[in-house]
Copies of this chain bind each other. A is one copy, B any other.
Amino acid sequence: MSTETEAVAETGASFTGETDAPASKAEAMKARLRDEVISHLAPHDPLPPERELANRFAVSRATVRQALARLADHGWVYRVQGSGTFVADKDLVTKSPYLTSFSEDIAERGMTPGSRVLRLEHVRADERVARELLIPVGSRVVHIERLRTADGAPLCVEGLWLPEWLTGENLGPELLGSLYAYFEHAGASPARAHQTLRAVTLDEAQAELLDTEPGAAALTVSRIVFDAHGRRIEASNSVYRGDRYDFQINVKRRA
């Protein structure tokens, strides 16, 4: 039941946030450019020049440039100095390298996220967790293990460790809903993360949970999440079925 709660809550939030109240003029410009300009053009068609867009939409060129930069990050357009800004091929639009929750990530891919809690307990931090959370070895931390699903099918086994200075003695259901909402409530909103991707093979227990064979390929995403104050609020390790998940990213050549 808590699985559905989270799915609905986070999905809803992610969708309404898109059109409600643009956080800035640049964000609004980004949406307008996508809907009113790019959608009327074919791939590799040039967009109007920045100066003309600034004039037409009654904003400064800086705002237009910020919007265009974000569109380029997402793979909607590409830019050529001295030449123009062009519509990109539509088959390669990806999310930017932004920090997202599992639910947001899955919803963005057009599926319905779900989750089943396998474990929820206080444990002592081992060497790895202590190093990742920057706390002494043996400190008490909350450990959560969840099976995450997309459209009902098992997709990933997720292990989470939260420092106890954040959670207190708490082990209640609020830790089982949207974790990111809980972070907000605790005054430690996620701000940035360091992620490491590796390839591994599944052991028997993991294979059982993910409904596949031991030795199958899996993608592990290890993540250390920071709040706005630079405090480490989560260490996690997600093991994704290799045949059902990939990680896409657009990169630019450095100057």
Query: What is the bound-complex CA distance between A195 and B196, given in angstroms?
Result: 16
Q: Does A126 make an interface contact (CB < 8 A)?
A: no
Copies in the complex: 2
B-facing residues in A72-88 (Cβ within 8 Å): 75, 78, 80, 83, 86, 88
Contact of A217 among B99, B196, B200 (CB under 8 A): B200
Instruction: Tell whether, in the assembled complex, residue B251 and residue A195 are in contact, meaning their CB atoms are under 8 Å apart.
Output: yes
Contact B97 A251, beta carbon cutoff 8 Å: yes
What's the nearest-Cβ distance from chain B to residue A129, in Å? Answer: 15
- Find residues 190-241 in chain A having any chain B CB closer than 8 Å to their own CB: 190-201, 215-219, 224, 226, 228-230, 240
A88 vs B192: C-alpha distance when bound (angstroms): 11
Output the least CB separation between A196 and chain B (Å).
5
A40 located at the interface, meaning its Cβ lies under 8 Å from any Cβ of chain B in the complex: no
Interface hit among A146-154, A168-176, A242-250: A242-250
Q: Is the CB of A229 within 8 A of B80?
A: yes
Any B CB within 8 A of the CB of A27: yes
Measured between C-beta atoms, what is the minimum distance from A10 to chain B in Å? 13
Q: Please give the distance in Å from A192's CB to the nearest CB on chain B.
A: 5
User: Is A199's CB under 8 angstroms from B196's CB?
Assistant: no
> Is A23 an interface residue when CB atoms closer than 8 A count as contact?
yes
Q: Give the docked Cα–Cα distance between A253 and B27 (Å).
A: 15
A111 within 8 A of B: no
Among candidates B24, B94, B198, B199, residue contacting A194 with C-beta atoms closer than 8 Å: B94
Whether A254 contacts B98 in the complex (CB less than 8 A), given A218-B217, A248-B195, comes out as yes
In the complex, whether A92 has a CB less than 8 A from a CB of chain B is: yes
A201 contact set on B, CB distance < 8 A: 201, 215-217, 242
- Which A residues form the contact surface with B (CB < 8 A)? 23-24, 27, 44, 75, 78, 80, 83, 86, 88-89, 92, 94, 96-100, 134, 189-201, 215-219, 224, 226, 228-230, 240, 242, 245-255
